Amino acid sequence: MSVTTSASSIGDEAIANAKHLVDGELVAGTGVIEVFDPSTGEVFAHCPTADDTIVDQAMGAAARALPEWARSADARRAALAKMTDVIAANADLLAYVLARDTGNPNAAMEVQGAVDHARYWSELQIPVDTVDFGPGGKVTVERHPAGVVAMILAWNAPLLMLVNKIGCALLAGDTIVAKPSPFAPLTPLVFGALISDVFPAGVMNIVVGDADTGKAMVSHRLTNLVSFTGSVAAGRSIAGVASTELKRLALELGGNDAAIVLPEVDLDAAIPGIWNGAFFHSGQICSAVKRLYVHQSRYQEVSERLAAIAEQQHLGSPFEPGVTMGPLTTRPQFERVSELVADALRSGGEAIAGGAPVDREGYFIEPTIFRGLTAGSRLVDEEQFGPVLPVLSYSDLEDAIFAANDTSYGLSGSVWGADLEFAQSVARRLQAGTVWVNRHGAMSAATPYGGFKDSGIGRENGLLGVDHFSELQTVHVGL
């Protein structure tokens, strides 16, 4: 990506001054963590962390701000429109910080996504539903704020994820304490500084910390709703804590998305979409294609065409010219994907492209296409969250559908074929919260999103998302 000198110098200054946003003030932390450059593995910044006292202050501020914030949806939309303008006006700065935080060469696209999502929430009208109660009564269903939201986030899309979730929750009238991942903490804090005077003090708080900070937020007495995006393991633990106090809960968890390629598919159209669906952002997308099932008649062609694209990738830092694929964002993720690749090779997989970490500094893994793996291999059974795709062959479509569903995950999936009616009928049989035909990964703030099975509880986006951040009240009036 190209970066202007002013964006990088303002960005570096913003990174050096990163602070928590608590009760409308930018506050220093009580601790500090090192932030690593994914392209080199070296520490490039330090970031403040919050202890339980700061979490408590943020929660108190959010609770105090709630009654006034809940009062006017028009005022909330106006503030969200201002937030949208602030993101758009600082797009270059945010893209620079995001690229440093995550190593993502497409950081500018994520910032544009944040603008689009923020604008959606700033314009959405929250309806009052009417229920037909027959003569003698009028019944409406109205949406009230759920209260103080403890929002705990993953590292892979730290700006878009934050902006989308807060857009929805703030529109619903909630107030928020958000905790980004300690693996990509700078973009959310720089964003927090930019919007520090957009909302009334206490409405929007951002603190950085680790899992213990997240636990303190979940169990805090003022938390009404926990909104979590991250791994199944952490989601399970959070659900356990939240359930003892009956806190409201929304969980967006991991996935092991299957894509099924039907025999009569148009591969010229499908291959670029499958590639992007699997390898965009080095595969670090919850809804990436993580297993590809291809009819045996097209298996060789599909796998070889994907391998050819893999070989053409130019890996490097987001700031190097011509780079098409960045590093993994975190060292643990790099180590995990390296381990899955080594395991796949040991268990008989054939890497027809890639197949190893890149011999250079930083967290780079060669984009890898595996053939010859079956269920039971870790790379097929587990979520890799990296630039490595197992391509599996099937002869009977029923077997492919069974295999696609034979997982505890259920986030999303796709079917690729020329007969749209038939492809849709197959897609509907996938046990997943979102299914696509001839695309994978397309979504917007308006499209409900969430998982079946272990991939989550609840739906984000659109009015269903607003409902999740709301308490619904049924109002009966006798006529």
Number of residues that bind ligand NAD (CB under 6 A): 28
Q: Which of 420, 421, 411, 412 is nearest to 438 (CA)?
A: 420
State how far the Cα of 450 lies from the Cα of 394, in Å rounded to an integer.
Answer: 28
State how far the Cα of 439 lies from the Cα of 269, in Å rounded to an integer.
Answer: 10
Query: Bridge-partner residues for 122, per DSSP?
Result: none
Q: Which of 397, 449, 403, 448 is nearest to 423 (CA)?
A: 397
Q: Does 254 bind ligand NAD (CB under 6 A)?
A: yes
Q: Does 181 bind ligand NAD (CB under 6 A)?
A: yes
CB of 456 to ligand NAD, least distance (A): 6
Tell me which H or E stretch contains 251. strand 248-252
Structure tokens at 286: 């919850």
Q: Does 433 bind ligand NAD (CB under 6 A)?
A: no
CB of 158 to ligand NAD, least distance (A): 9
Interactions with ligand NAD, residue window 191-210 (CB under 6 A): 210
* Catalytic position from the list 252, 366, 383, 460: 252
286 counts as catalytic = yes
Tell me the window of 29-37, 151-159, 194-202, 392-400 that interacts with ligand NAD (CB under 6 A). 151-159
Q: CB-wise, 90 or 329, nearer to ligand NAD?
A: 329
What residue spans of 382-476 are helical by DSSP H? 397-405, 420-427, 462-468
Q: Does 318 bind ligand NAD (CB under 6 A)?
A: no
Interactions with ligand NAD, residue window 112-141 (CB under 6 A): none
Using the rule CB under 6 A, which residue among 286, 337, 391, 437 binds ligand NAD? 286
Q: Which of 21, 123, 109 is nearest to 81 (CA)?
A: 123
State how far the Cα of 175 lies from the Cα of 150, in Å rounded to an integer.
Answer: 9
Tell me the window of 40-48, 64-72, 233-241, 423-431 that interacts with ligand NAD (CB under 6 A). 233-241
Tell me the three state secondary structure of residue 193: helix
Tell me the three state secondary structure of residue 93: helix
Q: CB-wise, 152 or 400, nearer to ligand NAD?
A: 152
Q: CB-wise, 114 or 265, nearer to ligand NAD?
A: 114
Q: Does 179 bind ligand NAD (CB under 6 A)?
A: yes
State how far the Cα of 397 lies from the Cα of 437, in Å rounded to an integer.
Answer: 16
Tell me the window of 57-65, 223-231, 263-271, 374-382 that interacts with ligand NAD (CB under 6 A). 223-231
Q: Does 218 bind ligand NAD (CB under 6 A)?
A: yes
Q: CB-wise, 84 or 229, nearer to ligand NAD?
A: 229
Interactions with ligand NAD, residue window 378-417 (CB under 6 A): 383, 385, 411
Instruction: Give one word for 112, left, alpha or beta, with left for phi > 0 and alpha for psi -120 to 50.
Output: alpha
How many CA atoms lie less than 13 Å away from 237 in the CB half-sphere?
Answer: 12
Q: Which of 291, 368, 282 is nearest to 330 (CA)?
A: 282
Length of the chain: 479
CB of 214 to ligand NAD, least distance (A): 2
* Catalytic position from the list 47, 286, 366, 383: 286
Pairing of strands 43-49, 31-36: antiparallel
CB 315 within 8 A of CB 358: yes
Tell me the window of 64-72, 118-126, 129-137, 177-185 that interacts with ligand NAD (CB under 6 A). 177-185
Instruction: Give one word for 428, left, alpha or beta, with left for phi > 0 and alpha for psi -120 to 50.
Output: alpha
Q: Does 176 bind ligand NAD (CB under 6 A)?
A: no
Pairing of strands 470-478, 137-145: antiparallel
Binding mask 155-174 for ligand NAD (x = CB under 6 A): xx------------------
Q: CB-wise, 59 or 262, nearer to ligand NAD?
A: 59
Tell me the window of 22-30, 190-198, 250-258, 358-366 that interacts with ligand NAD (CB under 6 A). 250-258
Q: Hey, which residues are catalytic here?
A: 252, 286
**In the complex, which residues of this chain contact ligand NAD (CB under 6 A)?**
152-156, 179, 181-182, 210-211, 214-215, 218, 229-231, 234, 237-238, 252-255, 286, 383, 385, 411, 456
